[in-house]
Structure 1
Amino acid sequence: MMLKAFFPTCCTSADSGLLVGRWVPEQSSAVVLAVVHFPFIPIQVKEFLAQVQQASRVGVTVLGTWCHHQQEPEESLGRFLEELSAIFSHEPWLQLCRERGGAVWSSKAVQRPVLPGAPGEHQVTLIFYDQRQVLLSQLHPPAALPDRQAGDAPASTGGLAAVFDTVARSEALFRSDRFDEGPVRLSHWQSEGVEASILVELAKQASGPTCLLLSFLLSVLSAIGACRLFWLWPLPFICSKLSTCEQVRHRLGHLSLVFSTQKAENPAQLMRKANVFVSVLLDVGLGLALLTWLHGEDRIGQLANALVPVADRVAEELQHLLQWLMGAPAGLKMNRALDQVLGRFFLYHIHLWISYIHLMSPFIERILWHVGLSACLGLTVALSLLSDIIALLTFHIYCFYVYGARLYCLKIYGLSSLWRLFRGKKWNVLRQRVDSCSYDLDQLFIGTLLFTMLVFLLPTTALYYLVFTLLRLLVVTVQGLLHLLVDLVNSLPLYSIGLRLCRPYRLAAGVKFRVLEHEAGKPLRLLMQINPLPYSQVVHTYRLPSSGCPPKLSWSSLCRKLFFGELIYPWKQKGDKQD
């Protein structure tokens, strides 16, 4: 029978003693966690292991003996190591030995035979692992395994989960400042002590009161926001349509999570909290940089002075476009009466909008100055506010699009209904289906007249709808780019990406084994190395949920909406599911 012994590389130079760890019977393997050095008293070792087991809830026991012959082997030491198996009864009993210079290793597992003639010794495969990396890493499902390298033997994460879990839950054993001062002396990855930082300790001491104060302030803001005064119509409707309100609400949820005094229950929650914290820091840092740029060299005044001429220029171009549509656009013959009515209607809207812009021009610089201050809340808030400003400045284009879409949709559905009349069909509203129906001569005559009128008026309406739909799609595209940038800052797991870049072993997708020694008559020695998680899988696994964003329409659904004149909104509707 071949047994596996996972041995930490930090213990290869340890003095002779006892092997302390956990036996995993399902995998026929032993996970060595530390080496107890001589001299020791067996009863003290048992009491020490009982304390560790109670603190870590891991079945830590003595697995066998470790012999490091730095000099010539002594007969008394060998006999003493063999007699320890009677004091610490464990089946099987591991015996690992490293000869002088470290070039020769021997390993075996002694077990009392249950049946006469059964072998009492088993061969042991030594698997060396970095204890610190295994302790700090998070093992992910095997679906995230990267490409295998040549000459490496792959390993399944299912069989290694027990190894990673054992090392991760044995942190109490590695607290050298707590246990090494007693009668038991250990060798493990922290046996030489842990470097401390005064700044880190001061930050830990100050984080508690700071989190309590900020949590109290956030709870006060939440209580003010829950006041019934803010839920009077139309405030909830307006807040639901403004991207700024959605982003501020989303950031308040992030701040409540970061400054919460509750401890994370598992590594996934801790990683999410760290990602949110880094995302907020980056957002605020970029916002302060934007604020510094805006308030430097009087850029606010320059933007305010350029806004009105740009609005006048856009209005002038729209007027030229409407005058072109009111003539013979591209040589098309339009319905002159309907063309004149629609053109004058839209020209009047442009006149109203320009009058409103000139009326607000004395206050534009002050408004932009206060808008620039919103960047101190974060770059995402400033971008969301910019998207809302674009929506307000292009409100006349939105009105043109809605008028044209509603008129075009009315004619499309009227033509489809009249087309069913010619085929002897009608739409059953109650059963939501098309049924057969018989019409008399008067109904057919009136239906023919209406169908003819709608067909001849459709090209004029369709042309206006096409032009204003293109303008509306241009505005929605600009807003969509801003929303994508906001969503990128909100949802990108920057801490996890930085962890993957600087400490790739922290996010493990599996392991690979490298053969150290494979000779006849000698134990097989392997080195276990951690395969890092790919960057794409890191983003997919730790991606943060974003705030309310535009609905994700497929191309077919978008084309259908455009063809039938259905409105395309830049916000999420009630029927759309949140991701």
Structure 2
Amino acid sequence: MVLKAFFPTCCASVDSGLLVGRWVPEQSAAVVLAVVHFPFIPIQVKELLAQVQQASQLGMAVLGTWCHCQQELEESLGHFLEGLGTIFSHDPWLQLCREKGTRCWSCKAIYHQVSSSPDTPSEDQVMLIFYDQRKVLLSWLHPPMTVPNCQAGDVTASARGLAAIFDTVSRSKMLFHSDRFDESPVRLSHWQSEGVEASILVELAKWASGPVCLLVASMLSIISAAGTWRLWNLWPLSFIRSKLSACEQLRHRLEQLSLVFSTQKAQSPTQLMRKANMLVSVLVDVALGLLLLSWLYSNDRIGQLANALIPGADRVAEELQHLLQWLMGAPAGLKMNRALDQVLGRFFLYHIHLWISYIHLMSPFIEHILWHVGLSACLGLTIALSILSDIIALLTFHIYCFYVYGARLYCLKIYGLSSLWRLFRGKKWNVLRQRVDSCSYDLDQLFIGTLLFTILIFLLPTTALYYLVFTLLRLLVVTVQGLIHLLMDFINSLPLYSLGLRLCRPYRLAAGVKFQVLEQEAGRPLRLLMQINPLPYSLVLCTYRLPSYGCHPKHSWSSLCCKLFLGELIYPWRQRGDKQD
């Protein structure tokens, strides 16, 4: 039988002593966590292990002996080390030794209670596996990925074994801080044997995090309570809140801050990583917003933007007027209905005139509005982008109105033609049963239907042309807003902390392990080095991607084309909380 002994690399050069760790019977593995050095009193070692076991709920035991040199074992410590096996009485009893002056190791596993069967051996071979204790302690082993050409049971068993090893090391933190147990005289060697890695700033931050989180959480609860007032649920305010992207982004940011500064302790590494990702995302967002704020308020860029806004609006209105005048003539040589063409063209020209008059009426206040709106960048770049999206929606409201007018007229004609087409075939739409049924019509109904069908079919090209032009303009505006919302969604959902861990400390996010052969000779124990496989960047993004309220496509390409052809109003981008149609 071959036993696996996981030995920390930091203990490979320490003095002789006892091997302290945990025995994993289902894996036939012994996980060595520390080395107890001579001199020691056995009763003190047992008391220390009992205290650590009570604090960590982890079965700790003395697994065997460790000797740094073979001569020392034979000359002075031989009888004493043999007697330790009877004092601590653990089966199997490991004997690890590194020969003096060489890189050779000897590993044995001895059973003190040998079975009566003659076929049961009293000594087993040991496979020595070295591991970096610090990396295994700080890493988090993720669920196993799908491995091709491998049985599912083998993958599950291997993952369960690795999880037991990682869980043993992670739950043994109390052993690494054994100096807290009434200043125990037992001297240990482990990954912190040269000193605890900490700093005064880190300790002060941990000490101050509790009161800061309590203060911020109370402030956020007050803001959340103010947001639930019935005043905000009245019709005008509720309608405005549902249409403005800035309100949705502020609500999303408030939820993130409430979760980050919550006084409840994270129950799992996933929740802790989620909090860290949200905190870093908020900090990066605010830093980018401050950079944008400093750029806007330097060199009077707010004034330059306000001065360029009015000429830009006039330019857009002039281009729209040229477009309407082109449509009121003979666009691309098409023969249009003169009367309907003139009515629609003058109707839209009047709306452009009203809109430009409104923009010029607001021109004295535009610089002040932009100055105060620019201050919102201190809350984050996403807040500024959401306000930019709302400003684009307000500045292009006339284009939206043109699209709605054209779509309604076109949709009315399409549904009228489809209804009259059913009349010619002796069909009708049954509203109650939601189906097409047979129907008999008299001569007057057929005459009126033929007359209306002829009128609608000759007016359709003119209406369809206006609908096509303004739909393209509307889709252009929606595309710009969609790109802005996609950028906001990218900033909100990007797990920056996890990506930083993967870049700087790849062992923190472990997808598995790999073994490197250090020594494989006849008569010598097999020695392996366990190395951590980091989680790929794609899986880091997939696993730790933050939830976002951001927009995503509502319709498929087929349904979008169908709605465009029928003249139904489309909103290609929707919020995640909205319901499907």
TM-score for the superposition, normalised by structure 1: 0.95
> In structure 1, what is the Cα distance between the partners aligned to 2:424 and 2:42?
100
Find the counterpart in structure 1 of residue 522 from structure 2.
520
Find the counterpart in structure 2 of residue 468 from structure 1.
470
Q: Check the 8 A contact 2:403/2:474 in 1, yes or no.
A: yes
> In structure 2, what is the Cα distance between the partners aligned to 1:178 and 1:211?
27
Find the counterpart in structure 2 of residue 116 from structure 1.
117
Find the counterpart in structure 1 of residue 152 from structure 2.
none
- Report how many aligned residue pairs link the two structures: 574
Residue type of the alignment partner of 2:110 = V
Q: How does 1:141-156 map to 2 (within 5 A)?
A: 141-143=143-145, 156=158
Deviation per residue, 1:87-137 (Å, 9 max, x gap): 212222222111113511111211233242111111111111001000111
Q: Do residues 493 (structure 1) and 498 (structure 2) align?
A: no
Q: How does 1:411-490 map to 2 (within 5 A)?
A: 411-490=413-492
Find the counterpart in structure 2 of residue 576 from structure 1.
579
Shift of 1:574: 7.2
The one of 269, 276, 284 aligned to 2:278? 276
Bigger shift: residues 255-264 or 362-371: 255-264
**Secondary structure, counterpart of 2:27 in structure 1:** coil
Deviation per residue, 1:523-574 (Å, 9 max, x gap): 0110000011111111111000112424443222222221222212244497
Q: How does 1:46-445 map to 2 (within 5 A)?
A: 46-69=46-69, 72-111=72-111, 112-117=113-118, 118-143=120-145, 156-179=158-181, 181-445=183-447
Deviation per residue, 1:64-108 (Å, 9 max, x gap): 221221754334412222222222122222221111135111112
CA 577–129 in structure 1, closer or farther in 2 if over 3 Å, else same: farther
Q: Check the 8 A contact 2:550/2:576 in 1, yes or no.
A: no
**Secondary structure, counterpart of 1:189 in structure 2:** coil
Residue type of the alignment partner of 1:200 = V
CA 122–430 in structure 1, closer or farther in 2 if over 3 Å, else same: farther
Shift of 1:332: 0.6
**Secondary structure, counterpart of 1:73 in structure 2:** helix
CA 550–235 in structure 1, closer or farther in 2 if over 3 Å, else same: farther
> In structure 2, what is the Cα distance between the partners aligned to 1:15 and 1:189?
14
Q: Check the 8 A contact 2:310/2:359 in 1, yes or no.
A: yes
Bigger shift: residues 86-95 or 507-516: 86-95
Q: Check the 8 A contact 2:551/2:576 in 1, yes or no.
A: no
CA-based RMSD: 2.2
Q: How does 1:18-57 map to 2 (within 5 A)?
A: 18-57=18-57
Deviation per residue, 1:216-260 (Å, 9 max, x gap): 211111121111112111211110110000011111111112222
Deviation per residue, 1:427-459 (Å, 9 max, x gap): 333333333333333333332222222221111
**Secondary structure, counterpart of 2:368 in structure 1:** helix
> In structure 2, what is the Cα distance between the partners aligned to 1:576 and 1:411?
29
Bigger shift: residues 63-72 or 569-578: 569-578
Residue type of the alignment partner of 2:299 = E
Deviation per residue, 1:117-174 (Å, 9 max, x gap): 1111111111110010001111112217799xxxxxxx94332011011111111111
Find the counterpart in structure 2 of residue 151 from structure 1.
none
> In structure 1, what is the Cα distance between the partners aligned to 2:162 and 2:576?
46
> In structure 2, what is the Cα distance between the partners aligned to 1:438 and 1:76?
115
Q: Check the 8 A contact 1:145/1:509 in 2, yes or no.
A: no
**Secondary structure, counterpart of 2:478 in structure 1:** helix
> In structure 2, what is the Cα distance between the partners aligned to 1:370 and 1:291?
11
Shift of 1:406: 1.3
> In structure 2, what is the Cα distance between the partners aligned to 1:479 and 1:527?
53
Bigger shift: residues 312-321 or 435-444: 435-444
Find the counterpart in structure 1 of residue 153 from structure 2.
none
CA 535–146 in structure 1, closer or farther in 2 if over 3 Å, else same: farther
Shift of 1:180: 9.4
Shift of 1:387: 0.5
CA 371–104 in structure 1, closer or farther in 2 if over 3 Å, else same: same
> In structure 1, what is the Cα distance between the partners aligned to 2:577 and 2:21?
56
Q: Check the 8 A contact 2:97/2:106 in 1, yes or no.
A: yes
> In structure 2, what is the Cα distance between the partners aligned to 1:463 and 1:31?
77
Shift of 1:209: 2.1
> In structure 1, what is the Cα distance between the partners aligned to 2:39 and 2:269?
38
> In structure 2, what is the Cα distance between the partners aligned to 1:376 and 1:279?
14
Q: Check the 8 A contact 2:18/2:35 in 1, yes or no.
A: yes
Residue type of the alignment partner of 1:116 = S
Q: Check the 8 A contact 2:33/2:169 in 1, yes or no.
A: yes
> In structure 1, what is the Cα distance between the partners aligned to 2:366 and 2:374?
12
CA 516–179 in structure 1, closer or farther in 2 if over 3 Å, else same: farther
**Secondary structure, counterpart of 1:107 in structure 2:** strand
**Secondary structure, counterpart of 1:143 in structure 2:** coil
> In structure 1, what is the Cα distance between the partners aligned to 2:145 and 2:438?
55
Bigger shift: residues 514-523 or 438-447: 438-447
Find the counterpart in structure 1 of residue 547 from structure 2.
545
Residue type of the alignment partner of 1:419 = W
> In structure 2, what is the Cα distance between the partners aligned to 1:25 and 1:577?
53
Q: Check the 8 A contact 2:489/2:548 in 1, yes or no.
A: yes
> Which ranges in structure 1 are unaligned for 5 or more consecutive residues?
148-154
Bigger shift: residues 356-365 or 216-225: 216-225
Q: Check the 8 A contact 1:380/1:486 in 2, yes or no.
A: yes
CA 9–564 in structure 1, closer or farther in 2 if over 3 Å, else same: same
Q: Check the 8 A contact 1:241/1:571 in 2, yes or no.
A: no
Find the counterpart in structure 2 of residue 150 from structure 1.
none
Residue type of the alignment partner of 1:96 = L
Q: Check the 8 A contact 2:510/2:535 in 1, yes or no.
A: yes
Deviation per residue, 1:313-339 (Å, 9 max, x gap): 100100110010011100011111111
> In structure 2, what is the Cα distance between the partners aligned to 1:310 and 1:568?
27
CA 195–375 in structure 1, closer or farther in 2 if over 3 Å, else same: same
CA 452–222 in structure 1, closer or farther in 2 if over 3 Å, else same: same
Q: Check the 8 A contact 1:551/1:572 in 2, yes or no.
A: no
Q: Check the 8 A contact 1:124/1:523 in 2, yes or no.
A: yes
Shift of 1:366: 0.5
TM-score for the superposition, normalised by structure 2: 0.94
Residue type of the alignment partner of 1:318 = L
**Secondary structure, counterpart of 1:13 in structure 2:** coil
> Which ranges in structure 2 are unaligned for 5 or more consecutive residues?
150-156
> In structure 2, what is the Cα distance between the partners aligned to 1:548 and 1:526?
48
**Secondary structure, counterpart of 1:359 in structure 2:** helix
